[in-house]
Structure 1
């Protein structure tokens, strides 16, 4: 065995850092008595050295090993009290992952030896297991993350220009016949994917979790896997399953290719909990390094606070845990060049020590003062299952937020529910009740109809009930309130009338999304007519249910989606940062928004209160307060009719101007044309969009 010596090293940076001569290791643990570095052979099978980190600077243990190189496999062990009743769960027999590891060799192999306690013992988690877990654990890898970026420049898209496309690394690529390295970051970087996103008009690709995550034991025992990835184990490491050649440069290559195509990369990140679960979960990293510091514990510290519904909650109120989160975010921006983050269960990150939500919590303050993170896009999922966990509109700028009220309100309007016209008006105007405060822009609302969690757009119009039997939970999982409509038959149908009704409903829904104020997000595959067979919770379906079916693409709907996105891009009125409140403009004295009846009169309180009303017309201009240099177009006129055919009076136009009809969802192939008449017949269940143009243009 080669003799190695370990020197003092430095307390920063945390993790394993190669300096050209050797590797510095630094690990945080406030309550450990000893932290040991374990080195492994190149094949990972043999533990070749155990070296105690010789120095402690505050609560950071550190040491330097000369001669080590990138590619070295390693892990950690931590010695300290095993006293669950006091919140401590140290077990030196368990090999641990470095929280700052840049790459992992594989996923854990489930075995009872991964548990710090003896499974089946009468004392449960108060017992102590002495089996070594190393053979079942992945190895951390020392990495040199430098990459030849060349002229890479982040697109830095203005949020008003952003169209988000949410997709799964494997789900988007696995079933595409022309994609090489399917199911990986290299597959995402391929020409067919890039050309599809560019032709569609997408400006930002939002990836479901791609940091290293755990396959839950209960899923593997049912022949399923953790497909979505919301069980993070490594906040700095890309998940091994998405690396075709085992190199982190594959992720960097994907980002560089996206940037060259003008597309930003946003990561869905999970800093609210880890994959270690509750007190009966495995000891893989954080629990074994310092359980009491890394996790929020109940008054009885044997048990975990569970505001996330996953068994544990990360303790971002601890300064070193918050530092880990901030270091992770900066790493993905500075080293991996990502352009933003979507924070899963972000309400959890804003909880104080006693559990209440605070928009001035340490996490938000840390991000808002950070010169690296304030230049990227930040999106909150504004809820968790803890007390007062629903916080839509409650986040500080510059955060954007997923707006589920938009999703439900628009679904209910087009399903035909009563009293939904006021809801439609509120949502398409930017959800001002939630977001028009604290200087927040209308773009703070991330509007979506569908996302990974729930029905696809095709299933939204094909199923009235969820069909999740394949998940092995007897259809009990998944949200029961989908506000969906099967249009006359549950599931696939060959009936022309049903197919036509479904196609029009999809066009109406998508047109509403892209004609609304806010930041639109599409679910990857919706533009193709992708279905999940009615499964609205495909978190464990790494198969044809969860993959996008490119072979069944609907070319007509794909073309319609492209034209909608292009129309939005061409009309600044649809993507304003200022809210529309029907206030007079200084430029011409006209209000920036008129709510109109089909007969041309303005809506009255009686109209708004009519439960049977199914139509809404809106005339929009650049918002009051918009500087003159941004007054780039005159007006738009939109009609949303979920009722019977009717006649609509077009708004009065100035001399020398005319309305041009660009969109009619009842006639999706209609070419744009000027409308000479003052009245126009509007089909039932349709959306129309006009712009005001000079007659001589």
Structure 2
């Protein structure tokens, strides 16, 4: 079809699949709107700048407007004009002067350029959103683009890493690659950059099994940020649930994302994406009309029962997507399946997941969303991770998500930070989190892998900043340092921010080793924040969502301290992978093993004796030991062979003073020191200890000792060790 020749053939088409679907001969368009009175399909040139034609969609089936254009081809740019009542007080905000984007669009062309014309009402009018604006918004809008989905996946296979073997690396596509000196400059900040050899080799040498990508769905920059010269860097401001963010593509092609996934898979690395289905980028009742609001506001959003002009906001972002509506729920499910089936991702981390469970304002754990996922043959086979809270009443639901879901465990984060900064009375909480949080997950039949353990995440301080700042320093965000969490459970080791004091810096490095070692030796799934393994700092900013600059990007400059920390993390990940004791599939029994008198786990006092119930409550107690019996795994490998491991002894001391720790008199051979975080490298001095001897456990340090099993079983072939 000629680029300038108008489309003449318009067939009825079909109501499903939704969106614009190229079938090899033409394109089917289908858009759900229950309350619309008329829908026009606007067709643009390939740049999206010039409108070529409008076609009225006359077919309507079950509230889905549809048509088929046999002359249309991939690459065609399009959008919609939707007619209906403009009655915000009744929940309707139709304005045909505003171009609205297809919620099912799989690709976009052009960028949104902020203008008052993007709003359905007249900015500055005394009636606010009850007024009506007649300016055309299309010149300021990106356009949807018909996608050719064909891609040669070849023999791509999911790594299918078992939950208990996972080590997650939370990362930002742009931030990870922007300053990497070995990534070609044109690829920095893009999917192609993450797929190139230097990035892949780094991840493999680190030893992580899974990357968790911060939002890659297409999103927009907030207007108020652009007016301050800032950008929405994190991307929790979704514009399209099917299209990868175009700004992360150096080629401008969707297949670049697929190539990235395929390349990571070939390296044995899973790809989990962070998804935001709880709200959209359109904000509250005074926000712009970009997509859902102008298509069918009353269906797509949860509106206030008292006044339907306003939105129920459980997300802090102005609106909440209405998953109680079957077509909206279907949109989310179609999106999830698309990313699994067409983009080959291995799972999802759901932002503010409690909002997805809300039915009539309440969190319902067995609501429609979870029922649909559980029975879906595609989605019940991939990794599902919840951020188990939102900002509404009753939204904090850690430990309450259904079987099949893992959860970000913020109680782990808080307990470990508080213990290592020296707070008293926490050894019971510390021990519970260290062993997989059975109090949260064991009671419902889940396993330790339901707990996604983390010390830091994108939201909050980096690890370096946790040990360098007592207070947040968010002045660069332009909000008077009023944004961000004030409850950080951080400790600056005596000086706020950067210092030349060698003792303070040495203590900070030790605290980083303490926190990372605790994370990687805990039961559950460890998640490392990208850059923590080399001491990345955000200069005390604990809410860097708008810092698309060197505050957020990884600085790959390697110093001796950074090299030491990186080597330490690599060795710990390799140690975890080599020993099933640290990645158990089941919780500890806490009772004698079958045919013996020794428990699978023992909690020890510094004198080497088992702790009593009363001693867990001591406010002053900051030192404890944990004995792990290698013979107590009570588990089998993938081929059904019984697993057995060495014995391990973990010693923790969050007190400032050295404590001589007596090696318990447990029958067996000598113990060998492996890890001592008091050493700059984290490697213990060669030491052989007999039961009854003491280990000089330095203040604020962690020590790991190993005793080889007396009669090794025939092991399964181990994975190749990570290079240090």
Common fold, TM-score beyond 0.5? yes
1:696 and 1:496 mapped to 2: Cα distance? 46
Compute the displacement of 1:660 (Å).
2.5
Q: With structure 1 as the length reference, what TM-score do the two structures score?
A: 0.98
Given the alignment, which residue of 338, 351, 361 partners 1:344?
A: 351
In terms of mean alpha carbon deviation, does 643-652 or 153-162 score higher? 643-652
1:379-458 matches, within 5 Å, as: 379-458=385-464
1:375 and 1:599 mapped to 2: Cα distance? 48
2:419 and 2:314 mapped to 1: Cα distance? 32
Given the alignment, which residue of 654, 659, 669 partners 1:646?
A: 659
In terms of mean alpha carbon deviation, does 158-167 or 599-608 score higher? 599-608
1:334-373 matches, within 5 Å, as: 334-352=341-359, 354-373=360-379
Query: Unaligned stretches of 5+ in structure 2?
Result: 713-724
Alignment correspondent of 1:615 = 623
- Secondary structure of the residue that 2:55 maps to in structure 1? strand
Q: Is the 8 A contact 2:12 2:66 kept in 1?
A: yes
Q: In the comparison of the two structures, how many residue pairs are matched?
A: 695
1:260-302: CA deviation from partner (whole Å, max 9, x where unpaired): 1111011000000000001100000000000000000001111
Given the alignment, which residue of 286, 290, 313 partners 2:292?
A: 286
Alignment correspondent of 1:325 = 332
1:218-239: CA deviation from partner (whole Å, max 9, x where unpaired): 0000000000000101000011
The reply on whether 1:20 has 2:24 as its aligned counterpart is yes
Alignment correspondent of 1:669 = 683
Q: Is the 8 A contact 2:645 2:709 kept in 1?
A: no
- Secondary structure of the residue that 1:379 maps to in structure 2? strand
2:6 and 2:618 mapped to 1: Cα distance? 83
1:587 and 1:406 mapped to 2: Cα distance? 34
2:256 and 2:678 mapped to 1: Cα distance? 45
Compute the displacement of 1:587 (Å).
5.4
The reply on whether 1:102 has 2:116 as its aligned counterpart is no
- Secondary structure of the residue that 1:436 maps to in structure 2? helix
Alignment correspondent of 1:558 = 566
Given the alignment, which residue of 17, 34, 37 partners 2:38?
A: 34
Alignment correspondent of 2:670 = 658
Compute the displacement of 1:600 (Å).
1.5
The reply on whether 1:633 has 2:645 as its aligned counterpart is yes
Alignment correspondent of 1:141 = 145
Compute the displacement of 1:673 (Å).
5.5
Change (3 A) 1:232 1:385: same
1:465-489: CA deviation from partner (whole Å, max 9, x where unpaired): 1100000001000100111111121
- Secondary structure of the residue that 2:297 maps to in structure 1? helix
2:658 and 2:642 mapped to 1: Cα distance? 37
Q: With structure 2 as the length reference, what TM-score do the two structures score?
A: 0.94
Query: Unaligned stretches of 5+ in structure 1?
Result: none
Compute the displacement of 1:577 (Å).
2.1
1:430 and 1:126 mapped to 2: Cα distance? 53
**CA RMSD after TM alignment:** 1.5
1:464 and 1:55 mapped to 2: Cα distance? 62
1:601 and 1:654 mapped to 2: Cα distance? 14
Compute the displacement of 1:552 (Å).
4.5
Alignment correspondent of 1:508 = 514
Given the alignment, which residue of 34, 47, 57 partners 2:61?
A: 57
Compute the displacement of 1:119 (Å).
0.8
Change (3 A) 1:621 1:319: farther
Compute the displacement of 1:500 (Å).
0.7
Given the alignment, which residue of 522, 526, 532 partners 2:528?
A: 522
1:325-364: CA deviation from partner (whole Å, max 9, x where unpaired): 0000010011000011000000000111x21111101111
Compute the displacement of 1:177 (Å).
1.1
1:669 and 1:29 mapped to 2: Cα distance? 63
- Secondary structure of the residue that 1:412 maps to in structure 2? helix
In terms of mean alpha carbon deviation, does 118-127 or 675-684 score higher? 675-684
In terms of mean alpha carbon deviation, does 9-18 or 589-598 score higher? 589-598
The reply on whether 1:68 has 2:97 as its aligned counterpart is no
Compute the displacement of 1:437 (Å).
2.3
1:83-142: CA deviation from partner (whole Å, max 9, x where unpaired): 111100011111011000001113311001000011111111011111110000001010
Change (3 A) 1:672 1:92: farther
